[in-house]
Amino acid sequence: MSMKCALVTGGSRGIGRAVCQKMSAMGYYVLINYKGNETEANKTLSLIKEVGGNGELLRFDVSNKEEIKSVLGNWIEKNPDNYIEVLVNNAGIKDDGLMIFMKDEQWDNVIATNLDGFFYTTRMVLQGMLMKKYGRIINVVSLSGLKGLPGQTNYSAAKAGIIGATKALAQEVGRKGVTVNAVAPGFIKTDMTEGLDEKELQSIIPVKRFGTAEEVAHAVGFLASSEAGYVTGHVLSINGGLYS
Ligand code: NAP
């Protein structure tokens, strides 16, 4: 019997973990991708199993196209009856610095993980969706990719790149029953925002607090639902009113 599968990149922690839990609650067998933190990835899987869901870990570095090809490609080959119906491109990193001081590696790594990771992962999963004439692709971008933030030329460029690709791909695959959307979080409480001063920043956020990973996952769940079939090429901000 075939299973409904959802792949979440960067599912070991933060927003990705909450998205994995949401996908599981929606009845998906969850492929939990991560880069290196196996303990946390296993914790995500345990949380899913505790409430009656199921899934497996799929370790690959989204910035490495050869790894994507071998690990994800291998999974797809070995599971001909189970196609990935939902893909959430969530894995991401930031490495901030003013552009004048930014090192080559800071630019390269941030672009490779966020933007190249989106391209190579999505291209691999797309074929199954097109053949089955159904799919949901949700890209986790950022306020930084919409507005641009100082100190984040690399990250803003990568996220803005994904936003452009979201809109372009949505037009390529709409007639095949595949939707492509993005969610753009503002400040969300995860490891990524750990060093930030919430007390100071909340004064500029209309709802006066950081968001939670679960609030982002809820929006991803909507875009991943079959009922959202007429929403595509859209970027949904989840930022407490900070920017629109
Ligand atoms: P996080 O807590 O730092 O978690 C990052 C996740 O991405 C981890 O699961 C990590 O895996 C994975 N990852 C990192 N590099 C990877 C790679 N090369 N290959 C595979 N997996 C990789 O981050 P988060 O705050 O949840 O952010 C998730 C997404 O939301 C990112 O795309 C981020 O840019 C975006 N976002 C976050 C915020 C925010 O305020 N938190 C705001 C806007 C956008 P390991 O555990 O194995 O390291």
**What pLDDT does residue 119 have?**
98
Q: What percent of the chain has pLDDT over 90?
A: 98
Cα–chain-centroid distance for residue 236?
13
pLDDT at 1: 67
Average pLDDT of every residue of the chain: 97
Which of 43, 90, 109 for a ligand 1 pocket mutation test, highest count of atoms within 8 Å of Cβ? 90
Q: Which fold has domain 5-238?
A: Rossmann fold (3.40.50)
Distance of CA 216 to the CA centre of its chain: 10
pLDDT tens track for 169-185: 999 999 999 999 999 99
Which residue ranges make up each domain of the chain?
Answer: 5-238
Q: What is the mean pLDDT of residues 214-235?
A: 98
Position 10 pLDDT exceeds 70: yes
Task: Tell me the pLDDT tens digit for each residue of 133-174.
Answer: 999 999 999 999 999 999 999 999 999 999 999 999 999 999
Cβ–ligand 1 contact at 193 (below 6 Å) = yes
HSE-CB of 108 using CA atoms within 13 angstroms: 4
Residues paired with 87 in a beta bridge: 7, 137
State the Cα–Cα distance between residues 146 and 192, nearest whole angstrom.
18
User: For residues 185 and 212, is the Cβ–Cβ distance under 8 A?
Assistant: no
Strands 5-8 and 135-140: unpaired
- Give me the phi and psi of 22, to 5 degrees please: -65, -45
Place of tokens 């505790």: 50
Question: CA 80, 12, 128: angle at the middle one, nearest 5?
Answer: 20
Average pLDDT score over residue span 108-116? 98
16, containing H or E segment: helix 14-25
* CB of residue 163 inside a 6 A radius of ligand 1: no
- Annotated catalytic residues are 155
Model confidence over 38-97: pLDDT tens digits?
A: 999 999 999 999 999 999 999 999 999 999 999 999 999 999 999 999 999 999 999 999
Instruction: Write down the pLDDT at residue 2.
Output: 80
Question: Could you say which DSSP state residue 18 is in?
Answer: H
Q: ∠29-34-41 over CA atoms, to 5°?
A: 65
Determine if ligand 1 sits within 6 Å of the CB of residue 29: no
